[in-house]
Amino acid sequence: MDIDVSRPILARNEELAEINRERLARSGAFALDVLASPGAGKTTAILATIAALRDRYRIAVIEGDIASKVDAEKVKAHGIPAVQINTGGACHLEADMISRAFDAIPLDELDLVIIENVGNLVCPTEFDLGQGARIVVLSVPEGHDKPLKYPGIFAMAEAVLLNKMDTMHVFDFDIEEFTDSVRRVNGRAPIFQMSAKTGEGIAEWAEWLAARIESAKA
């Protein structure tokens, strides 16, 4: 006998994600779900993105972590509204957590809500949050073989950010193999080579995101 306990939980999440999506559509805000493994540089990439777009758009951040408030504090230190969600052990954010976070930010006054998911290349893929787009950040130190090992997350990403390009000289990272392995599961997502630390490649990625924000308003 097989009992799939995950089905009712996921169905309920889908309903709540749909409500989040409608709420975003009404407000005209675009929500970006940022996925990555721990230490890929999500928070630094988010801060670099904010720096590139804050003059044009009103931005808030929802930070997801198992525990701690360090990321929300980092974002707030830059004068950007941030809500910290602590999942208390869960390896992903869920739609109801985002719904409660939306209550805590002025959604109608925002253009962009950046959601930093829990650091994990597996669990978050199953949980729709109602976001406008999902992206995955991989960092050079993690190695070029990751799309082969975690195909699900690379298959669903609408853009791939290859971060920490400034450390390329220290690691044996094969860009061609990486691109090939992304392309094996995902034919369309652009791959942005960047360094959130040095600012390299941020402008190209920010322009892609700006185009998505504009489509959400149209």
- Structural tokens at position 128: 């729709």
User: Binding residue for a second copy (CB under 8 A) from 30, 127, 150, 205?
Assistant: 150
Nearer to a second copy by C-beta: 57 or 171? Answer: 171
Burial label, 187 (beta-carbon count in 10 A; 0-12, 13-18, 19+): exposed
User: Binding residue for a second copy (CB under 8 A) from 51, 66, 175, 191?
Assistant: 66
Q: Closest approach of Cβ 109 to a second copy, in Å? A: 30
Q: Give the interface size with a second copy as a residue count (CB under 8 A).
A: 35
What is the distance, to the nearest Å, from the Cα of residue 192 to the centroid of all Cα atoms in its chain?
Answer: 14
Is 25 a binding residue for a second copy by CB under 8 A? The answer is no
Nearer to a second copy by C-beta: 55 or 176? Answer: 176
The residue behind tokens 């853009």 is 159
Is 167 a binding residue for a second copy by CB under 8 A? The answer is yes
Return left, alpha or beta for 72; rule: phi > 0 is left, psi -120 to 50 is alpha, else beta. alpha
Beta-ladder partners of 3: none
Q: Closest approach of Cβ 202 to a second copy, in Å? A: 18
Q: Name the helix (H) or strand (E) containing 147.
A: helix 146-149
As a whole number of angstroms, the distance between CA 144 and CA 184 comes to: 13
Non-local (6+) Cβ contacts of 58 within 8 A are: 109, 110, 111, 112
Is 152 a binding residue for a second copy by CB under 8 A? The answer is yes
Is 176 a binding residue for a second copy by CB under 8 A? The answer is no
Is 28 a binding residue for a second copy by CB under 8 A? The answer is no
Is 120 a binding residue for a second copy by CB under 8 A? The answer is yes
Is 122 a binding residue for a second copy by CB under 8 A? The answer is yes
Binding residues for a second copy, rule: CB under 8 A, are: 5, 9, 37-39, 65-68, 70, 89-91, 118-123, 139, 141-143, 145-146, 148-152, 164, 166-167, 170-171
